[in-house]
A and B are shown apart, each in its own frame.
Chain A
Amino acid sequence: MIRAALAAVLLAAPACAGDIAFVTSQNADSVSIVDLDRGTVRATVPVPGAPAPVAYDAGSGRAYVISAETGMLTLLDTQGRVLRQAPLGEGAFGLAVDGQAGRIFVADWYGARLRCLDGADLREVWSAPTGRAPAGVALSGNGRVVVTADRDDDRLSAFDAATGQLLWTAPTGSHPYAVAFHDGRFWTTDVQSRSVTVVDAATGAVVGTVSTGDHPYGVAFAAGKGFVTDQYAATVTVFDPDSLSPTGSIAVGDYPEGIVALSDSRRLAVANWDTNELTIIDAAAETVVDVIAVPDGPRSFGIFVGPES
């Protein structure tokens, strides 16, 4: 029945075919590549050091993965081949990739800085100080602004992506962890205050906040709505990005973490740390349409889904 519903979705939107997900299984020390249309794990690659942050660049078919315990960067292709590994230092954590500019942006949790690296040779292009414990990293839609969620300073720091010049900082709720860009705004998950803080990307002005469930972890957008994974509540909070009002809640497994929209903008993929599943949600119907088993402790912190080619 679930498959039938999924098939109907696929038939209605042929352009969405071919999305894959890179699932970082932190407790299993592996990364799995999931074919989302088939609902199957294509390959599982051993990646030691508790991999969690990930960024997939669909344009080049490359995924960048950070091992949280060691700061090792692992570069994978869509078949799960390890193309390269490079130590970025123990504090390396959240990251974002700009495929067109050929650059990656990596937060240094211990060093309280954001580093811009050349995507090809990993040479440092610039480095800029952030607040304490920068976790999530996000780029604006045009690639000009890059931000860090500075967890221990309860703020967002924004930089010129080309030069590293600080553009603005904005106060958030308590312990912002993930950050995403949508519709001219940055959206943070404030883990300890059960909120999403909404910040204007151009000016850094705080536009408002969204109430979430307990321990919000990730935020994503699809079908004109916002979706937040609530780690402790085991729900995905649904909200209206215009009014900032919560409009619904979807029950999922315990500790839902990384969340990202598929390229059809109709579905979302959610990593469920506790139940070892990748959950696929129909954004319009607000229902779970598929559940795919993955190795132990999936987190997928970052943009972990995109088209294969």
Chain B
Amino acid sequence: MKSVLIAALAAATGLAAPAAAHGPVRLKVELAQVLDASPDEVWATIGRFDDMSWLPGVARTELTADSPSATEPDKSTRILHLEADAGDPAITEQLTKWQPEKRCYAYRITQVDVAVLPVTNYASTLCVNDEGGKARVVWKGGFYRGYPNNDPPPDQNDETALKAVTGIYQAGLDALAGKFGAVR
């Protein structure tokens, strides 16, 4: 029953969201950080779709009941329960690519309140590249602002969306730099 509900919610969200509304323009953010550790060491920490405990602000990662595993594109789905004083702000994300040989995975947000994260049609890739034996973490995303039509309110415009996503990526990379040490 639960899986049916989640599938229905995901489908409804997908239909309601603009796939490529042209008034807004798709935005991109890409941040990278070289760490004082091997790519394999860092991948062991961040290369699990069902464990986002390394990202500040995430209280708990829940793999949905209908996910066969944490490594199956288009099926594996996680819910990030965020730290909050009240309520249960959450982001639901589905795995879209699983490439452990490249130390990469990709995912998209299938459900989020724009009050939690002011974006729509968000897709992202997280990779650990090898830079001279050191891990170079690259986190990038493509997305639209929260407001799908023209004349967005300030809390749902392009600038707000860019700031929010950049903030998450930076917090994650800073946490990894704190854990492993930063190079440069």
Contact = CB atoms under 8 A, between A and B. Distances in A.
Interface of A: 26-27, 50, 52, 68-69, 90, 93, 109-110, 135, 151, 174-175, 177, 191-192, 214-215, 217, 232, 254-255, 273-274, 296-297
B26 interface: yes
Given A68-B23, A69-B25, A254 B96 contact: no
B140 interface: yes
Contacts of A174: 15
A192 B25 contact: no
Given A214-B96, A274-B142, A151 B19 contact: yes
Interface string B19-38: 11011011110000000000
Contacts of B27: 27
B161 to A, nearest CB: 13
B28 A27 contact: yes
B103 interface: no
Q: Is the interface of A mostly helix, strand, loop or mixed?
A: loop
B23 A26 contact: no
A68 to B, nearest CB: 5
Nearest to B27: A27
B22 A254 contact: no
Contacts of B23: 68-69, 90, 109-110
A192 B108 contact: no
A26 B25 contact: yes
A232 B108 contact: yes
A274 B140 contact: yes
B170 interface: no
Interface of B: 14-15, 19-20, 22-23, 25-28, 74, 96, 106, 108, 123, 125, 140, 142, 150
Contacts of A151: 19-20
Contacts of B25: 26-27, 50, 52, 68-69, 297
5 contacts: A109-B22, A151-B19, A192-B14, A217-B20, A254-B142
A53 to B, nearest CB: 8
Nearest to A49: B25
Contact of A273 (B15, B26, B74, B106): B26
A109 B27 CA distance: 20
Contact of A255 (B19, B108, B142): B142
Given A27-B28, A69-B25, A90-B150, A273 B142 contact: yes
Nearest to A107: B22
A254 B20 CA distance: 16
Contacts of A215: 19
Given A90-B150, A274-B142, A232 B26 contact: no
Nearest to A52: B22
Contacts of B28: 27, 273-274, 296-297
Contacts of B74: 214
Contacts of A297: 25-26, 28
Nearest to B20: A177
A192 B140 CA distance: 22
B162 to A, nearest CB: 11
